[in-house]
Amino acid sequence: MLKRLRSHVCGAWFEGNGTAVEVFDPTTGVAIAAVNNSGLDFAAALQYARETGGPVLRAMTFAQRGELLMAIAAAWHEFRDELLALSTVSGGNTRGDAKFDLDGATGTLSAYAKMGAKLGEARFLIDGPPIRLSRSPRFVGRHVRMPRVGVAIHINAFNFPAWGMAEKMAAAILGGMPVVTKAATSTAVLAERLVEILVEKEVVPPGVFSLICGSAGDMLQHVTTQDVVAFTGSAATGCRIRSGAAVIEKSVRVNVEADSLNSAVLGPDVKRASETWDLFIREVCTDMTQKAGQKCTAMRRIFVPVDKMDAVREDLIEAITNVKVGNPSSRGVRMGPLASQAQLADITAGIEELQTVAEIVCGALGPGELVDAEASAGYFQQPVLLQVKDSAAAAIVHTREVFGPVQTILPYSGAAAHAAALLNLGDGGLVASVYSDHRDFAAELALAVAPYNGRLNFGSKKVAEFSMGPGAVLPTLIHGGPGRAGAGEELGGLRGLSFYMQRTALQGDEPLLAHLLADGVEI
């Protein structure tokens, strides 16, 4: 009998009574669980969170909300080994990939917990000092940020069932909003177990955190004006969510984290085998193979000065072919399968589309040589490196996100302006990297691409030993990007709380304002 994945709503577990959707171990293709939430009353689930969880959270101080986040992190950490193993079975993750997701989740929760402790006994934020509005120093303006009194609806992508849930939850809970989170179906096994731990250990007060496993049903038809929706996934789904009738009618805040054709630029100054060159090769290879390339921040387009194309290709091929692909639980394997059959089909189609303008220079369509895994059973695709001759003409490379172990190297003249013009053809990304020790080159490029990217990562010999690469999303820096990346913004320390709080301007008698701000903390 397959494990049935349940939702946790209205303070209780819920299992649907319709036809179940199966989810599979991507290494073997064997079904491991089934999900079905038909009959779930989404309107009641949201209302329970608003009415039961909201008042509890708003009554808590920032320090208490921080303690709650720390307790969640501690509960998950206690089950770390079990959760890492589950991540391997349900998501095809190597132990390193699984840690990236799970430790990233607990690390982000802990970071927000510490911010809560620092904010202390306050319950809302005071945004900046008094602003004098007249000749009299008594008549002033202030800004406050108060928790919104609705529910935060979080819809997550399949690739980070733990981190994706936690990074959104951390900012919402610290901001004072209860959460209803919908896990992506293909990797919901891990999401359900994470929530099961919190329920069994009674970590979270009733209504503060609910889980939907399975379809989103008619949930977004029940949003109200105080609710917010934060979505991570494909641009197509993001568009549907944003344009939902109730979302538009009720002016519901929506944050979208979507596709991104992230890029890296190698500077013309970087010599082969130098520290900066090696960092570039290492980080490009990591982004291609970590989580089998299923990272929203992974580089897809690698811009290389035309006279360095041959050397870059040779070094990348050497690095990539050293990566063993196969059963993610086997020793030495550094890349596992894609997370689902649908992913494999999409990546196969994507590589074929790229091949209309680019040539494969490493790897091939198909699983390739696998360690301890049956190619015909699992969802494997070996790493594929492509190369184009005419970067500007290769339109599909700048518009088609192939969400797997696939990258394309593209030549540019060596001028920062040329690299920037090509990079910006991606029309908005989460992160772009510049590898150069030449400050003027890096600065010129950065100024031209910053409006198109949520984050810029500068790789150089000065930081080579500290660099964690562009793929890691840090709680202290914002995550999100303009244009095709969804135009959203998350994290960034306390900046991440803004989405969950209403900013209100106050104008009046200074002592009166000081009195009503007594429960706030200035940031």
CA distance linking residue 189 with residue 34, whole number of Å: 9
Task: Tell me how far apart the alpha carbons of residues 476 and 111 are, in angstroms, rounded to a whole number.
Answer: 8
211: nearest Cα among 220, 198, 222: 198
- Residue 382 identity: Q
Closest separation in Å from C-beta 120 to ligand NAP: 31
Task: Mark out the alpha helices in 201-274 (DSSP H runs).
Answer: 235-242, 245-249
CB of 408 to ligand NAP, least distance (A): 16
The least distance separating ligand NAP from the CB of residue 165, rounded to whole angstroms, comes to: 11
CA 477 to chain centre: 13
Asked if residues 112 and 475 have their Cβ atoms less than 8 Å apart, the reply is yes
Please say which residue, 362 or 430, places its beta carbon nearer to ligand NAP.
Answer: 430
Residues 6+ apart with CB under 8 A from 121: 61, 62, 63
Is residue 372 within 8 Å of 380, Cβ to Cβ? no
Active-site choice (15, 167, 192, 257): 257
Q: Tell me the residue number closest to ligand NAP, measured at CB.
A: 233
Decide: 45 and 355 in contact? Cβ < 8 Å.
Answer: no
Q: Is 296 a catalytic residue?
A: yes
User: Closer CB to ligand NAP, residue 257 or residue 287?
Assistant: 257
- Catalytic: which of 167, 296, 489, 490? 296
Residue pair 143/127 in contact (Cβ under 8 Å)? The answer is: yes
Q: How far is the CB of 467 from ligand NAP (least distance, A)?
A: 21
Nearer to ligand NAP, 140 or 487 (CB): 487
CB of 98 to ligand NAP, least distance (A): 16
C-beta of residue 463 within 8 angstroms of C-beta of residue 432: no
Give the angle 162-157-284 at the CA atoms, nearest 5°: 85
Q: Give the N- to C-terminal CA distance of the chain in Å, as an integer.
A: 54
Q: What is the nearest approach in angstroms of ligand NAP to the Cβ of residue 392?
A: 24
List residues near ligand NAP by CB under 6 A: 155-159, 182, 184-186, 215-216, 232-234, 237, 240-241, 257-260, 296, 401, 403, 430, 485-486
Please name the amino acid found at residue 74: A
Distance (Å, whole) CA 104 – CA 84 = 12
Distance CA 170, CA 182 (A): 15
Taking the least distance from each CB to ligand NAP, the nearer of 210 and 215 is 215
Rank residues 181 and 276 by Cβ distance to ligand NAP and give the closer one.
181
Task: Please confirm, yes or no, whether 257 is among the known catalytic residues.
Answer: yes
Sheet containing 12-14, strands listed edge to edge, beginning at the edge strand earlier in sequence: 12-14, 7-9, 209-212, 179-182, 152-155, 228-232, 253-257
Give the nearest distance from C-beta 153 to ligand NAP in angstroms: 9
Q: Distance between CA 133 and CA 142 in Å, rounded?
A: 10
Nearest to ligand NAP of 183, 494 (CB atom): 183
Q: Which CB, 21 or 63, lies closer to ligand NAP?
A: 21
Catalytic residues: 257, 296
